[in-house]
Amino acid sequence: MTDAGEWWKNAVIYGVDVSRFCDSNGDGIGDFPGLTERLDHLVRLGVTCIWLLPFHPSTNRDNGYDITDYLQVDPRYGSFDDFLFFLTEAGARGIRVILDLVAQHTSDRHPWFLSARHDARSPFRDYYVWTDHPPRPAPGRGPMFPGQEDTTWTHDPVAQQYYYHRFFRFQPSLNHENPSVWMELERIMDFWMSFGIAGFRIDSAAHLIQKPLDPQGGKDKDHRILRDIFRHVTRRIPDALIMSEVNEDEGSLPDFFDGGQMNAMMNFSLNNHLLHALASGRAQPVLDGLARLPPPPDNGVWANFLRNLDEATLERLDPDAFRATVGILAPDQDMRIFDRGFRRRLAPMLGGDGPRLRMALSLLFAMPGAPLLCYGDEIGMGEDLGQPGRDAVRSPMQWTRGRNGGFSTAAKARLIQPVVARAFGPDQVNATDQWDDPGSLLNHVARLSAIRLDHPGIGRRECRTIANAPDGVIALRYAAADHDLVTLHNLSPKPARLDLDLGASCRGESTALLGDPLETRDGRLRVTLPGHDFRWSRWPR
């Protein structure tokens, strides 16, 4: 079994945007009382860890990632007591909670920046990065949002200098070489840890080590700030989860994932290969992706996902694979964004095909690591391409067929964002109807969670690919002391005939966990797997 102190290796993680989950008071905006009301949905789903997207006061120009006060709850989402009650109720149900730590930048309306720009002698001036002569961006250090930003340096008319912003110009980057900035981050982390959270998700972790004034694109090779965050948090909470956002090439990942900077890394690399495989109907991209992944450190786990609440970035694919994947999963120009991916939800991306969607989510849970879902994945919500930018994939959660999908009783004009309409609207896609349907996607995901929680070896990456599977089929095997777990997934719409040698430990009929049972003769498995079908079977040792 997984060490009880390393619970994240056997976690089912669920990302929640409080503002879009459930509105309790009819003002059109989700809040903590609404989230608390819906905790039993997450318990039934099998969620063991909630990742809360930013819920602090902000100017709301980047979905809450432009923070103006790190030590408060945005009053639109309820009171501080509402947050504490949610935290207590989640804990009572065995669900841990981690928060987004947005340490790369603040809002340009944060008091630190307002003081910094108005007075060159302000102690906050050096909280940010200023220059009279901005260097040319090094390769790969241009604006993160091409088409929306054309530079990473903006001239401030009050300060009479340029300030650096890796993201939007209203998000000035913090100067992580300033010890005072580190002291502020310590204070922020200590404050939230004092209430019993289980850790943090480090936003834009790879950008925290960059040196913006270096024209060569230099980095802090020691990754000091990431090590300091990890050390500081785990000293106070020994079993804390530090899950970091690092979207870098595979060769750089061991520099981050070494056991001393984070104990979970969001698996952007495998995500790219999963999307390529789902688009092509071929298993090889996933097999290549698994082979290219460095092993996690002893205390670490990969956090695997199919979609998040940003754009789907495909930067880890080669140009041919990129073009092919985008062409299939996002055929219309309006679906694409930032020249690196697309703004689509999983269900419409796969054509609303129920069997294909079930197979894709089953494959996610079969990958070595911890599965990471985002709200709405479990019911197959769609996107709203009528919304600007990445908001297309951030529509309110759909609970019922009723008004506003059960998200809010407010008038439509007051909603934080419209509920998705038409084919993926609440009449067709909602949690209440799906809980009542044993064959629904929601009940399928709940079964996957239960299986996953019963098989902690998946989180320890005790995984072998089974040789000689057809190109459309991913065959994986996890060996434990008392059983062998075999998963088969046919990514192709066509049936696949399998003839696999499972060895002496897999003899006779298995116990079917999902799908029909599998049976071997002399350790050999011969079976035809229908298109987009999948099997989970277990043989005792």
**Within the chain, which residues score under 70 in pLDDT?**
1-4, 461
Same domain for 372 and 394: yes
From the list 203, 311, 383, 433, the catalytic residue is 203
Is the pTM of the predicted complex or chain greater than 0.95? Answer: yes
Containing structural domain, residue 155? 111-164
Burial 117-145 (b: 16+ CB within 10 A, else e): beeeeeebbebbbbeeebbeeeeebebbb
**Whole-angstrom Cα distance, residue 471 to residue 288?**
12
**Whole-angstrom Cα distance, residue 367 to residue 303?**
10
Burial 51-90 (b: 16+ CB within 10 A, else e): bbbbbbbbeeebbbbbbbebeebbebbbeeebbeebbebb
The residues, any chain, with a CB within 8 Å of residue 187's CB and separated by 6 or more, are none
Q: Give me the count of residues in the chain.
A: 541
**Whole-angstrom Cα distance, residue 431 to residue 21?**
12
Same domain for 79 and 54: yes
Amino acid making up residue 75: P
Same domain for 122 and 197: no
Active site residue 203: yes
Amino acid making up residue 239: D
Same domain for 257 and 360: yes
Active site residue 501: no
Same domain for 117 and 98: no
Same domain for 410 and 361: yes
**Whole-angstrom Cα distance, residue 426 to residue 400?**
6
Q: What is the pLDDT of residues 234-250, one digit of tens each?
A: 999 999 999 999 999 99
- Would 240 be classed as within a structural domain? yes
From the list 17, 156, 245, 384, the catalytic residue is 245
pLDDT at residue number 461: 65
Same domain for 327 and 218: yes
Show the DSSP H helices in 3-51 as ranges: 32-37, 39-45
Which burial class, exposed, middle or buried, applies to 522 when counting CB atoms under 10 A from its CB (0-12, 13-18, 19+)? exposed
Structural domain total, the chain: 3
Backbone angles phi, psi at 528, to 5 degrees: -105, 125
Same domain for 154 and 94: no
**Whole-angstrom Cα distance, residue 464 to residue 121?**
60
* 153-156: strand order across its sheet: 130-131, 161-164, 153-156
**Tell me, what CATH number does 116's domain have?**
3.90.400.10
Q: How far is CA 371 from CA 280, 304, 417, 459, in A?
A: 22, 5, 27, 9
Contact in structure between 212 and 173 (CB atoms under 8 Å): yes
Same domain for 81 and 28: yes
Same domain for 362 and 480: no
- Would 21 be classed as within a structural domain? yes
- For residue 439, the tally of other CB atoms under 10 A from its CB is 9
**Whole-angstrom Cα distance, residue 195 to residue 237?**
12
pLDDT at residue number 216: 83
- Would 170 be classed as within a structural domain? no
Q: What is the pLDDT of residues 504-529, one digit of tens each?
A: 889 888 999 999 999 999 899 999 99
Amino acid making up residue 243: M
Same domain for 152 and 27: no
Same domain for 115 and 33: no
Rounded CA Rg of the chain: 23
**Whole-angstrom Cα distance, residue 328 to residue 282?**
13
